Chain A
Amino acid sequence: MLTIKNLNARVEDKQILKGINLKVNAGEVHAIMGPNGSGKSSLASVLAGRDNYEVLEGEVDLDGKDLLEMSPEDRAREGVFMAFQYPIEIPGVSNINFLRTALNEIRAYRKLPQLDAKQFLKLSKERQKLVEFDAKLVNRSLNEGFSGGEKKRNEIFQLAMLEPKLCVLDETDSGLDIDALRIVSNGVNKLRSKDNAFILITHYQRLLEYIVPDFVHVLYDGRIIKSGTKELALELEEKGYDWLKESFREQPV
């Protein structure tokens, strides 16, 4: 589904991605871990097409299409969804109207008929239930005055509504208490399918107890320095990142 080749990118003068290679197939869940400042969130931003990131080199292919050539909205319409680490508040715009606009824009791009109000509400009720999203939050202004946990849960609700194929969760677990973490993880597990794929960006092994990844990658200094299965996450939890950093320094790329 997604193939990233030798991706190099910078923000202002600082190069933060230094040759990322990654292949994600439909049905897979990949976890990306790494110490602070290693480039995890930057990778998510580059995939989503955030403005201030400049791609210097490399390719990103999504089902045969060049992702880097597309505007952020077209990437979203092609099926890339990013759950934000810090979801944005938009006062006065109701959550539900926003979602209806988004869904219909995506459907228009895919040449699907627009959902009328009734169909949309039915879908919304169904998905709210699926991801245990509080109905009261549906009609409030988008993320305005939501608690940290509510914002993160709203990201998962949006994910459930928009049915993307590639879901990038940028530190969705940070700031969640144990109950919220369980709800968010349950939501993701229910949404997993053979047709979509997840990239989980996280600091902590904790999330991976709930959402079991197929692969774990360690990102350090803008490169993936180690890949493995879920056992790698446990090893990291035990030993930290230092042993990897050292072995990495011994073998400069």
Chain B
Amino acid sequence: METNDQLIQDITTQEYEYGFITDIEMDRAPNGLNEDTIRYISEKKNEPEWMLKWRMKGYEAFLRQDMPTWQNFTLPPMDFQGISYYAAPRTKKKYESLDEVDPELLATFEKLGIPLNEQKVLSGVAVDAVFDSISVATTYKGKLKEMGIIFCSFGEAVQEYPDLVKKYLGSVVPHSDNIFASLNTAVFSDGSFVYIPKGVRCPMELSTYFRINAENTGQFERTLIIADEGSYVSYLEGCTAPMRDENQLHAAVVELIALEGAEIKYSTVQNWYPGDKEGRGGIYNFVTKRGVCRGANSKISWTQVETGSSITWKYPAVILQGDNSTGEFYSIAVTKNKQVADTGTKMHHIGKNTRSRIISKGISAGHSNNSYRGLVQVGAKADNARNFTQCDSLLLGAECSANTFPYIETRNNTAMVEHEATTSKIGEDQIFYLNQRGIDSEKAVALIVNGYVKEVLNQLPMEFAVEAQKLLSITLEGSVG
């Protein structure tokens, strides 16, 4: 009979099964970061002068800044001169057919319910011209275009819609915001651009899936989403399938702009390589995500499911500038082995009657360290601002830690800020109760965890939620039995 201690041991030490495929041909810049590197990137991307200037400003800001010291973990040394900052679209090693792909990986895809064609793309099997998703994507793109919706790569936007890019780029996350954002500004490779015109409700979830052919998110990704007055968009980033990448440092920037009456819903599932049991080789995910509710009655909602990376450092924020605007943050962060997650949100209440809601669910296992860090700021003019924060931590095993760092700053005495926090363990009693009803320990843990995170999963678009739920079960799956 398996004891619960053993179960927890198994779950918490299970290794990420999919290593790297490193056989890559590259057209790349020499290692190192300097003005020439930036010029090289800008030139390769055929950028206008103003983009280069902006990159240079980012670089200068990068040089002026020190690494952050306030986080609740030891920052590993990073050699910024040791990496190459530009590589032409990479080709992962191609297989002839799915038969050659690691059956374990396919089993995971199967469990996640990923369609066959997508499995091929994700595992690097060469796909022929009649690839469903791509033709579907093309059809969708046509439909979006009819409605005036722009959804393209960042590079394309710089060429095709320079006025929009110029107007909004850096307006939410300035080039000097933090050292990682500055680095991104200087060297970002590509990303996504979305513009929803006035009064248009985007009829489908926009997903990076549709850009599957232009995939290669890369190390320094940049996303800019503008929802014009009265418009609505739901954007999905990432993928539940395990993501392999040979770049260790990821420093993405996402900027969202919601004008009057607009709503942006941004959902992320992050499953980057978390490193081995000792945390070696995992991705450092240092992301700056921020949205501004610029107009009255606008709304921005962040939902994230973070299961991968050896270090996750991100605080999706909302600047509630317009009166009656709303910001939301729903988060699930899972850490195991020696993973570190320092994540949370910032809600800046500036306008009157602004509201924010924060629901954070941390799950820690193994020797991992999971911190919620949040700031709720109410400015002097933000009359009747309201915030509700709930931070829950769930611990599996005795070796992990969970921390909560809620910061509240209010300068307006009409503000109402509520904070609730709980810490719980999966009880042996709970597992035994489910065992006694015929449910094995592995399923029992999955059931309990899914119950715990339900409030956040409910925020995800339906299909994504189902995938994320499976991902959580798989992430916490041990070799019980």
Contact surface of A with B, Cβ cutoff 8 Å? 48-51, 71-73, 75-77, 81-82, 84, 87-88, 90-94, 97-99, 101-103, 105-106, 109, 141-142, 158, 162
Contact = CB atoms under 8 A, between A and B. Distances in A.
B215 interface: no
Interface residues of B, number: 27
Given A51-B4, A71-B2, A90 B451 contact: yes
A102 B438 contact: yes
Contacts of A72: 1, 432, 435-436
7 contacts: A71-B1, A71-B2, A82-B436, A90-B448, A93-B448, A98-B447, A162-B438
B464 interface: no
Nearest to B444: A73
A88 B455 CA distance: 21
Given A72-B1, A82-B436, A51 B428 contact: yes
B3 interface: yes
A76 B451 contact: no
Given A51-B3, A72-B1, A81-B436, 20 more contacts: A48-B436, A51-B4, A71-B1, A72-B432, A72-B435, A73-B435, A73-B436, A76-B435, A82-B436, A84-B433, A90-B433, A90-B451, A91-B452, A92-B450, A92-B455, A93-B450, A101-B439, A101-B447, A105-B439, A105-B443
B145 interface: no
B429 interface: yes
Contacts of B432: 48, 50-51, 72, 88
Interface of B: 1-4, 427-430, 432-441, 443, 447-448, 450-455
Contacts of A109: 438
DSSP majority for the B interface?
A: helix
Nearest to A143: B433
Given A102-B437, A105-B438, A88 B430 contact: yes
A77 B436 contact: no
B450 A101 contact: no
A46 to B, nearest CB: 12
Contacts of A97: 447
Given A49-B1, A51-B4, A88-B427, A71 B451 contact: no
A95 B122 CA distance: 37
Contacts of B443: 101, 105
A76 B427 contact: no
Contacts of A90: 430, 433-434, 447-448, 451
Contacts of A105: 438-440, 443
Which are the 7 A-B pairs with shortest beta-carbon distances?
Answer: A92-B451, A93-B451, A72-B435, A102-B437, A88-B433, A76-B438, A106-B438
Nearest to A80: B436
